[in-house]
Amino acid sequence: MEFQKTPGWLDWYAVPSAPTFRVPAGSVDAHCHVFGPGAEFPYAPERKYTPCDASKAQLFALRDRLGFARNVVVQATCHGADNRAMVDALVNSNGKARGVATVRRAVTDDELRAMHAAGVRGVRFNFVKRLVDFTPRDELMEIAARIAPLGWHVVIYFEAVDLPELWDFFTALPTTIVVDHMGRPDASKPVDGPEFELFVRFMREYPNVWSKVSCPERLSVSGPKALDGEPGLEHGAYRDVIPFARRIVETFPDRVLWGTDWPHPNLKDHMPDDGLLVDFIPHIATTPELQRKLLVDNPMRLYWPEEN
């Protein structure tokens, strides 16, 4: 089946720059996706976008180029609740990938057990309105109750302005919770303003809440270029996101994860160089100890606990 990608869709870097920052041995890229290929794993009819294909082999090549050891492959909304592409990546990774699925109420216990055997360790609940249709909260709570006995966690994706309304639902979830991209703060607002304070309070009051400190390219208002117009970290790329991510890393060093977000769906202005994203890490985790926790200890504890 031929799929035409969404008009204006930006392709990922075929050959990202080799990062200058060397990630610690055993590092995990804890947020990335596979897209199709559509001819083999068709995109979901209910999808809100059609991406360019991004295969497991291309993901594993990126992993090796950036110096990572493992991946956590997160089900993307363009595949709906059809987890075959993600599961195929896991079972062909030689144990180097674990996954996060999207399931509906109709999922059977046998299907959940089969996904567990393949390496799935969580489900994702997405509340970003441009990406998904509404799912009733009682269905999500029912799913959370069913995956909890497997030792899985719930990944939540939402916009910062929606946290107050979602608070009661999130704080009633019975599992570990992992927030995508720090709950998408508005980086043009102060890091100690009421909106981000609420997110910090969420993590402080609920020790089962973790956060990915990923996606500066998605959150940044200042963007990949500095005032002098030059791209690159030495010129201050994504500098407005640094205080947000540093605050979370330094306040909750044992509950943070990092991921590339490759192949970077739905970016409109620019496509990040994945090597540059890796070079961003020491700006948000400024010591070797924080870097080891962020990239190795925390993701290993969550996704490969049997190796601890």
* Residues belonging to the active site: 261
Check residue 267 and report its DSSP letter.
-
CB of residue 179 vs ligand 0GY: minimum separation in angstroms?
11
Q: Which two tokens stand for residue 134?
A: 């509404």
CB of residue 259 vs ligand 0GY: minimum separation in angstroms?
8
**Are β-strands 153-157 and 120-126 bridged in parallel, bridged antiparallel, or unpaired?**
parallel
CB atoms within 10 A of CB 285: 23
Residue 75's closest CA among 61, 63, 89?
89
**Are the C-beta atoms of 37 and 53 separated by less than 8 Å?**
yes
Interaction of residue 208 with ligand 0GY, rule CB under 6 A: no
Interacting positions 233-262 with ligand 0GY (CB under 6 A): 261
Interaction of residue 224 with ligand 0GY, rule CB under 6 A: no
Interaction of residue 53 with ligand 0GY, rule CB under 6 A: no
Interaction of residue 180 with ligand 0GY, rule CB under 6 A: yes
Interaction of residue 266 with ligand 0GY, rule CB under 6 A: yes
Interaction of residue 277 with ligand 0GY, rule CB under 6 A: no
Interaction of residue 55 with ligand 0GY, rule CB under 6 A: no
**Are the C-beta atoms of 56 and 88 separated by less than 8 Å?**
yes
CB of residue 180 vs ligand 0GY: minimum separation in angstroms?
6
Site string for ligand 0GY, 84-123 (x = CB under 6 A): ----------------------------------------
Angstrom distances, CA of residue 41 to CA of 36, 143, 162, 210:
5, 24, 32, 31
Start-end of H helices in the chain: 56-66, 84-91, 109-118, 137-147, 163-171, 194-205, 216-219, 242-251, 274-284, 288-292, 298-303
In the bound state with ligand 0GY, the residue whose beta carbon lies nearer, of 22 and 268, is 268
Of these, 30, 34, 66, 76, which contacts ligand 0GY (CB under 6 A)? 76
**Which contiguous run of DSSP H or E holds residue 181?**
none
- What span, in angstroms and rounded, lies between the C-alpha atoms of 160 and 183? 5
Interaction of residue 217 with ligand 0GY, rule CB under 6 A: no
In the bound state with ligand 0GY, the residue whose beta carbon lies nearer, of 135 and 286, is 135
Angstrom distances, CA of residue 243 to CA of 39, 178, 189:
42, 20, 11
CB of residue 126 vs ligand 0GY: minimum separation in angstroms?
6
In the bound state with ligand 0GY, the residue whose beta carbon lies nearer, of 6 and 266, is 266
CB of residue 25 vs ligand 0GY: minimum separation in angstroms?
26
Residues in contact with ligand 0GY by CB under 6 A are: 33, 76-78, 131, 157, 180, 218, 261, 265-266
